[in-house]
Structure 1
Amino acid sequence: MTDPQAGGLSLRPVDSRRTRDDFVRVPWAIYGDDPNWIPPLLFERKEVLAAKQPVFEHLDWQGWVAYRGGRAVGRITAQVDRLHLERHGDDTGFFGFIEGIDDGVLGALTGTAEAWLRDRGMRRVRGPFGFNINQEVGLLVEGFDTPPYFMMTHARPFYGPALEALGYAKAADMFAYLISANFQPPPVMRTLFRRLQRDVTIRPLDPKRKDADLEILRDVFNDAWADNWGFVPFTAREFHTIGHEMLMIIPPDFIQIAEMKGEPVAFIVLLPNVNECIADLDGRLWPGGWLKLLKRLKFGYPRTARIPLMGVRRRLHNTRYGPGLALSVVEALREPGLRKGLEEVEMSWILETNEAMKNIIETLGGQVTKRYRVYDKGLS
């Protein structure tokens, strides 16, 4: 398809091996001169689009690549998530993976995605998301001067203003906080820990029963996050697929589970910042990238990590146990992280409106380093 209003652009659907490969490689055209961009692993980005991915059991999507002069200069996806619609009933569709070399490209891409969603009965569009809220979320709007952590997004500074000029408005902001890996719990935290010791035990994931422990994490997460903005539950196959992939690079003691009188009530996951290890691979693991990556993970472990998942059961949120459990699982990661040589930890993403979690992180000395924004727009 061609949009005559978009400066000679042609937009092609992602429906072949060539367009899929072009879709995956678009960021190289956008960020080639950006020292803070980390080239993602090409094979991993292609896997995200593979039809076998569990998310596609409840989500329909279409992607497009924008070309100018035969060169790929932008991309976008539009998606309808049936789990979101069942839970929220708001006729909201989503866009994701947005990249564009200039405002005109972004306008053509969003217009095409909006039309696709409108044809499927959606009355609102929201994004950007990887495919849904349980993947990469939000557009970077502050913090362009440092590289993203693993599984977090990067962007050009003009993206946000360009979307706003197209009628998009803020739906929600998320923060990335940075804390020292050797944070020192303040006295109030130590008091909370002592009070919890009678009733709560904290243990690492058990590699011998990893499937059972992954199901515990999923159950606690889906309960803990159920009232959060935009929540969509993880299906069992989604969570276990992601979990098994993560366990290839996560030591068992980077996952901690809190149990109260034998019942799992909280958990936390610490993810090594693999971006440190892949920054100079240009997305390629062949021929020598695999060896470099394995050596770096084994002998030159990343000095930074990210907490992408944690949760405390809802019934405990507004009790004396809630803050104590959250602080306790964070504290349980401190020693394992220091043994691996970690220096800094990013906690992301944290909703701007999540005052309880923000207070906990700031108690640990956390500082906001990046802001991500989700936009939405009505579809007339």
Structure 2
Amino acid sequence: MPYALIALAILHETADPLYIMSKQIDRQKNNLIYMHTVTSYREMSTFIDIPWQIYANDPMWIPPLRLERRLHFSRFNPFLEHAKWQAWIAYKGKQPVGRISAQVDTLHRQRYGADTGHFGSLECVNDSEVFVKLMHTAEIWLAEQGTRHVTGPFNLSINQECGILVEGFETPPVVMMPHSPKWYGPLLEQCGYQPAKDLLAYWIAVDFEPPRIMRTVIQKFSKQIKLRTLRRDKFSEEMEILRDIFNDAWSENWGFVPFTQSEFAELGNSLRWLVPSEYIQIAEVEEVPVAFMAALPNLNEIFAQLNGNLFPTGWLRLIRQLKSNKVQTARIPLMGVRKQFHNTPLGMALAFTVINAPREIGIARGIKKVELSWILEDNKAMRNILESIGGKEYKRYRLYKKAL
């Protein structure tokens, strides 16, 4: 019978040693992990898209804008004026299952030693073998650049997204803050990495009641401090003022690397049309700018609806929701008081003043809560200020280190 002959043929083929061997090789190829260096536009597209796979089942993840990520990882990023980097994709068979970058920063090496380097842009499925392969590949490249002390993740520098989320997985990240699966921290430690520094994020209700000490200090120095908003007609000059204050204020903080003029200008230009002038408050003493606070509407509330795409209609939704004040949360990513005022009563008054200033503005624009991030865990002075006005620590990010 034909059916019997077909069955015998199939049985013979599947019992054939060469057939069995070819299937075993196919299975091995499908399980083989290999690293691919990103060198082309198409490969960078794959690199950018990997998080959509990693976070497919994580409702807290907010897809970034693909266009913004494309620019961030391009030669136009001003960070690359003083740094170099390389990116890789991990494949299991034909399937991309992870990514990583490694970078060395001349400005960082000038401050902390010529043997420093960083890893970043880390995303990986829950597979220790893939994770080890990613880290090992980055470490080999860093060692070739003379690196002996690695820290990370930095995407691509400490002035951009950084850290692994280790607490606060149950809430989505705010704009320009990272999100991570729970397995990243443990897998990094299995690769020999140790905690280097923890970064904290605080939630604060906009309608908080200023505590007595805050009201007293602000009142005491009210005649010395003049508060103003950003002058858009002198935008470039204002950006330089903010950069100078920030670099001075943060110069003694752990891991500090100064913003270059082009980096801060690029940051300002990218947010220029998205941030109202009153969201940037500048405090002056004797008509000299000495402190500032910059807030951002939490664009992630809108990005969550766009799946990474501004076109064809995403940009219209973005503008419409910003103009209609539908965004209910915000973030304060930049704040600083000049170093000469640190640990002084006037310095405390300046900090209180720029923190207190956005309350009425936020309420008028429908903002309910604000995230202040990130704050170094050992920055007790700032943490005390935030907690005194009702701030609650709700997320913790961790940077790791390893000696090669």
Interval of TM-score (by shorter of Structure 1 and Structure 2): over 0.9
C-alpha offsets along residues 279-321 of structure 1, whole Å, 9 cap, x if unaligned?
0211111222122212111124310000000000111101111
SS, match of residue 355 in structure 2: helix
C-alpha offsets along residues 73-123 of structure 1, whole Å, 9 cap, x if unaligned?
110000000000011225110000101002222111110000000011110
TM-align CA RMSD: 1.4
- 1:308 matched to 2:330? The reply is no
2-structure distance, mates of 1:375, 1:248: 35
What residue in structure 2 maps to residue 193 of structure 1? 218
1-structure distance, mates of 2:71, 2:255: 25
CA contact (8 A) 1:186 1:363 kept: yes
1-structure distance, mates of 2:130, 2:46: 15
TM-score (norm 2): 0.91
What residue in structure 1 maps to residue 101 of structure 2? 77
- 1:139 matched to 2:180? The reply is no
What residue in structure 2 maps to residue 179 of structure 1? 204
Question: How many angstroms does 1:59 deviate by?
Answer: 0.6
Unmatched 5+ stretches in structure 2: 1-27
Q: Is the radius of gyration larger for structure 1 or structure 2? A: 2
C-alpha offsets along residues 25-65 of structure 1, whole Å, 9 cap, x if unaligned?
00011001101001111111111011011110001000001
Aligned pairs, number: 376
2-structure distance, mates of 1:156, 1:88: 30
With 166-175 and 276-285 compared, the bigger mean Cα shift is at 276-285
Alignment of 1:223-234 (within 5 A): 223-234=248-259
C-alpha offsets along residues 238-281 of structure 1, whole Å, 9 cap, x if unaligned?
10111111122100000000000011110000011000011021
What residue in structure 2 maps to residue 100 of structure 1? 124
The counterpart of 1:260, out of the listed 277, 280, 285, is 285
CA contact (8 A) 1:7 1:104 kept: no
What residue in structure 2 maps to residue 351 of structure 1? 376
CA contact (8 A) 1:175 1:352 kept: yes
What residue in structure 1 maps to residue 53 of structure 2? 29
SS, match of residue 294 in structure 1: helix
What residue in structure 2 maps to residue 55 of structure 1? 79
Q: Which consecutive segments of 4 or more residues in structure 1 shift more than 4 A?
A: none
Distance 1:75 1:297, change over 3 A: same
Question: How many angstroms does 1:350 deviate by?
Answer: 0.3
TM-score (norm 1): 0.97
C-alpha offsets along residues 131-178 of structure 1, whole Å, 9 cap, x if unaligned?
111000111011000000000000000110000011000000000000
Amino acid paired to 1:52: F
C-alpha offsets along residues 196-245 of structure 1, whole Å, 9 cap, x if unaligned?
11111010001111111111000000000000000000000110111111
CA contact (8 A) 2:292 2:335 kept: yes
SS, match of residue 11 in structure 1: strand
1-structure distance, mates of 2:325, 2:203: 21
With 290-299 and 21-30 compared, the bigger mean Cα shift is at 290-299
What residue in structure 1 maps to residue 151 of structure 2? 126
SS, match of residue 125 in structure 1: strand
2-structure distance, mates of 1:15, 1:42: 18
SS, match of residue 87 in structure 1: helix
The counterpart of 1:289, out of the listed 281, 303, 314, is 314
The counterpart of 1:87, out of the listed 107, 111, 114, is 111
What residue in structure 1 maps to residue 295 of structure 2? 270
2-structure distance, mates of 1:372, 1:143: 9
What residue in structure 1 maps to residue 265 of structure 2? 240
Amino acid paired to 1:27: P
What residue in structure 1 maps to residue 38 of structure 2? 14
Identity, % of aligned positions: 49
Question: How many angstroms does 1:67 deviate by?
Answer: 1.3
Amino acid paired to 2:300: N
CA contact (8 A) 2:325 2:366 kept: no
What residue in structure 2 maps to residue 299 of structure 1? 324
CA contact (8 A) 1:172 1:375 kept: yes
- Which protein is richer in helix relative to its size? 2
CA contact (8 A) 2:62 2:173 kept: yes
1-structure distance, mates of 2:170, 2:93: 31
2-structure distance, mates of 1:37, 1:294: 22
Question: How many angstroms does 1:69 deviate by?
Answer: 2.5
Amino acid paired to 2:363: L
CA contact (8 A) 1:215 1:236 kept: yes
With 316-325 and 20-29 compared, the bigger mean Cα shift is at 316-325
SS, match of residue 50 in structure 1: coil
Question: How many angstroms does 1:322 deviate by?
Answer: 1.4
- 1:152 matched to 2:142? The reply is no
1-structure distance, mates of 2:392, 2:68: 31
Unmatched 5+ stretches in structure 1: none
SS, match of residue 155 in structure 2: coil
Question: How many angstroms does 1:353 deviate by?
Answer: 0.5
CA contact (8 A) 2:291 2:350 kept: yes
Amino acid paired to 1:95: F
With 278-287 and 71-80 compared, the bigger mean Cα shift is at 278-287
